[in-house]
Structure 1
Amino acid sequence: MISRKWWFALVALVLLIGVGVWYVRPDQARPAPPPSGQAGPPMGWNSWNRFGCKIDEQLIRDQADALVKSGMREAGYTYVVVDDCWMANERDADGKLQADPTTFPSGMKALGDYIHKQGLKFGIYSSAGSQTCEGRPASRDKEEVDAQTFADWGADFLKYDYCESKAADRPQGEPARDRYERMGAALRATGRPIVYSVVEWGDEKPWEWAYDVGGTMWRTTRDIKPNWPNITGILDQQVGLEKYARPGGWNDPDMLQVGNGLSEDENQFHMTMWSLLNAPLMAGNDITAMDEGTAATLLNREVLDVQRDFGKGQGYRLRDDGDTEVWAKGMSDGSVVVALLNRGTETVSVSTAASEIGLPPAESYRVLDLWNGEKPATPGPLGGEVAGHGVLALRVWPLR
């Protein structure tokens, strides 16, 4: 028998635990799970940037194998997305999309099964018009049947473009939001968690509505190209959009061009800035032929940690001095990542103060160069020499 004293003590303990579980301060509450079930910015590989329409099922399988062999899967690159041109020119007798019988003879369900067996996730492509950008059948007015088809094939990701056909490259006469809302509802109705990539190109400000229609990520620009002016131009278009990013809803400045002809400095610049923006990282190179420099860029753990950390929000531009810029991003542990950019062609010195990037006063600061390792502690300023078309990316902690 339990004595009365211990009985009352046990009851009091249970009540105390119950109150502690019930009462959670608003600033401690966890956010609601995103519509797709995706916890952080998606990472993976997409066929378009390197291969365009020249794809087939063996190429996709080879890229999936290479993601595993290269260590990219373990680093977080888990989605394998088959872009435009996977579909036959006609729907089947039941009105469903079907795989191109020449290039994907085994069908998309078999391809998805293969990708899943590699511990990866399967992504697929369609468009909000009646035709894709390459003139293949797309999903306008077929949202329900296509969403269910994708789910039946085991798709985990849908890239949903905004082309109508080659002749008229975007749907006409209807707000983009309405098109994307229909597909978002159709995806939810399947009951399968599918990352929904809204590729409206930024013309109708998808950052203002894409999350509300089920989008996990939304394109903020037209297509990215593997050249310096295009990449820096896209970066310029991200200024001011940081307030729209949130857990489960990410600004998308388009896929990575790392390994597609950029210089080493440009690759590091590109990778750093997309990570600072908490952008989805979708590699677009040929993983089977990746050189060591490209692999090192895509697999840099210090930089990937920045992309995954949304504790204090997306990175943003602090200062624009013409060819040089200063960007910053607060991290969950109280450190700040600062990116010192050089858009010119000659090496220059770029610096900032700890106070400018939001760090508290301290006698000195620990500094980690994300590309070159630990640096000596310093009282400030923070900076150094930055190569042309390059970035100096530092993670800084105050030492107390």
Structure 2
Amino acid sequence: MTFKILKLSAGILLCVLTVKAQTTVTTPADNSAYILTPKTGRAPRINGPKIFGVRPGHPIVFTVPVTGTRPIKISATGLPAGVKLDATTGRLSGSVSKAGTYNLVFIAKNPAGSAKRNFKLVAGEDIALTPPMGWNSWNVYASNVTQELLLANAKAMVSSGLIDHGWSYMNIDDVWQGERGGPFHAIQPNLATFPDMQRASNEIHGMGLKIGIYSTPWVESYGHHIGGSANNSEGTFEKTPVVVPRNKKLMPYAIGTYQFVDNDVKQWAAWDIDYLKYDWNPIEMPETKKMFDALRNSGRDIVYSLSNSTPFATIADLSTVSNTWRTGGDIRDSWPSLKSRIFTQDKWAPYEKPGHWNDPDMMIVGYLGWGKDLHSTNLTPDEQYTHVSAWCLMSVPLLLGCDLTKLDDFTLSLLTNDEVLAVNQDTAGKQATVISKQGDNGIMAKTTEDGTIAAGMFNLGDNGKQQITLNWADLKLTGKYIVRDLWRQKDLGTFNGEFKADVNQHGVVMISLRKAK
């Protein structure tokens, strides 16, 4: 047995223990010195979105995120007929029969204090009025995902307190599929790994969370499991023949002659599914619209996510019949993979609005590994701040790809900063765009619903710490503004005309600007 201490970038030490069986166990050094997020207080604080969309007559599935010392009593004024709120759990349930906007006020109380928040319940055609926040199994378990692992992570979502900051979706990725059958002649789970999908859904909903599932219009998924179509009328799974296109890559994927979209959606609705990742390439309108119509008519609000590499040429049409869409290929936990997604998303911004979100892919913080060689992310602390800041500024889906049962204090601090998350969940639903750029240094900014400016000052280069200047002229502003450090949740002072900050290599300074009185 050997024991070594290696020094990595950003001051991180990595302890490597090698045993006789040639197994390498990696344990990251304590990153607590990099924590910027202040701890939550004892008094209640209401977090998460300030708006929620539901279609008339469909069940409401929403938990009011509240931090503070439990027990906390949660109440609401303005609830429409047919809707109720559990005072202990904060779960909204029921349904709204009539379209319209209902103005609610949430109230949370405990012995340490109280909090109020205005909230809009919008009954109409649009759902996912803020970007989905949750978890997906692929980046940690890949083809090794099981019902047991899903439920363990759901429990950790609650016990870690992430649910109190707005994290809610627990999404199963590829390889859950077994054979077609059941009352709807739909895809059934692989009983060896998912013995009871209904029970899993019930348990997840019982925790105040939501559940998502995966499918493809192909005969065969990327993970070589049954898809939503077949080349026989019975829908029996038959591996598709390998096709060698001009680029010489093997492509054993195709859309079959017989499609079973309605069958599968009926099954998902019966299981109370809340989210669908629909995965194939190229993404085209006929398959997208067919699934959209089936989901819309399911009697349940199921967030519809397109994956992967949505073609930009047709995004104007595709974005009208989907809630989220991948803007590129798969992300990895490396700086080049992350960096390539930061100053490159502006062209997608015109198609983003409440209910319709650009998606540069899942998050790569925490403990992950795609089913093998599980490890803490290869991103440095500064790179992780850049990752979370950019995703929040761009108002894209926040889907964790890590093992939630192994959250360390630093990772938890990244995911529970309510001022940073509020930028992602802002009701205006705007994507931050690049307002100035010089080499690998640049600034992304957007205006939030209340008129505050949110901005990220990014140093993506390899030349050490850099001073970056935010000029009021680039924001078309004049006068004095109060600058606030969102990660530290602290005002930095009043500035006129510009704000300068030293930004670490591969790092960010994330701020807000509000007009000084």
Interval of TM-score (by shorter of Structure 1 and Structure 2) = 0.7 to 0.9
State the match for 2:352 in structure 1: 245
Map residues 222-237 of structure 1 onto 2, 5 A cutoff: 222-237=329-344
The structure richer in helix per residue is 1
- Map 1:326-345 → 2, pairs under 5 A: 326-345=443-462
Q: Which residue of 1 aligns with 2:515?
A: 398
Matched, 1:129 2:218: yes
Match of 1:70 among 160, 163, 183: 160
Which of 421, 428, 435 matches 1:304?
A: 421
In the alignment, what sits opposite 1:183? 291
Please give the TM-score of this superposition, normalised by the length of structure 1.
0.85
| Aligned residue number for residue 495 of structure 2 | 378
Aligned residue type for 1:142: F
Question: 1:78 Cα shift?
Answer: 0.5
- The one of 186, 189, 192 equivalent to 1:96 is 186
How far did 1:223 drift? 1.1
- Contact 2:419–2:489 (Cα < 8 Å) also in 1: no
Which residue type is aligned with residue 292 of structure 2?
A: G
Gaps of 5+ in 2: 1-99, 101-119, 230-258, 367-376
The answer for unaligned runs of 5 or more in structure 1 is 1-20, 22-29, 163-169
Cα distance in 1 for partners of 2:427, 2:181 equals 44
**Cα pair distance change 1:249/1:93, threshold 3 Å:** closer
Instruction: Describe the superposition over 1:37-62 as per-residue Cα deviations: whole angstroms up to 9, x where unpaired.
Output: 32311111111111111111111101
Q: Counterpart amino acid of 2:223?
A: E
8 Å CA contact 1:34–1:248 kept in 2: the answer is: no
Post-superposition Cα deviations, 1:141-161, rounded to whole Å, max 9, x if no partner, equal 111101111111110111111
Residue 307 of structure 1 deviates from its aligned partner by 0.4
User: What CA distance in whole angstroms lies between the structure 2 residues aligned with 1:200 and 1:177?
Assistant: 14
> How much does 1:319 deviate?
1.6
How much has 1:99 moved relative to structure 2? 0.9
CA contact (8 A) 1:161 1:200 kept: yes
Deviation at 1:198, TM superposition (A): 1.3
The one-character-per-residue Cα deviations of 1:139-193 (angstroms, maximum 9, x if unpaired) are 131111011111111101111111xxxxxxx46xxx6111111111111121111
Q: Per-residue displacement from partner, 1:249-279 (whole Å, max 9, x unpaired)?
A: 1111111112233111111101011111110
1:196 to 291, 300, 304: 304
What's the offset of the Cα at 1:131?
Answer: 1.2
Identity %: 32
State the match for 1:351 in structure 2: 469
Query: Which residue number in structure 2 is paired with residue 146 of structure 1?
Result: 264
Between the aligned partners of 2:417 and 2:355, the Cα distance in structure 1 is 23
Aligned match of 1:366 in 477, 482, 488? 482
Task: Output the CA distance in 1 between the equivalents of 2:121 and 2:194.
Answer: 40
**1:367 aligned partner, one-letter code:** V
Deviation (angstroms), 1:371 = 1.6
Could you tell me how far 1:313 is from its partner in structure 2? Answer: 2.1
Distance 1:148 1:282, change over 3 A: same
Closer, same or farther: CA 358–335 of 1 in aligned 2, 3 Å: farther
**C-alpha distance in structure 2 between counterparts of 1:246 and 1:70, whole Å:** 31
Look up the equivalent residue of 1:185 and give its one-letter code. Answer: D
1:239 Cα offset (Å): 1.9
Secondary structure of the 1:397 match is strand
Partner letter of residue 306 of structure 1?
Answer: V
TM-score by length of structure 2 reads: 0.66
Task: Please state whether the residue corresponding to 1:396 is helix, strand or coil.
Answer: strand
CA distance in 2, matches of 1:112, 1:264: 35
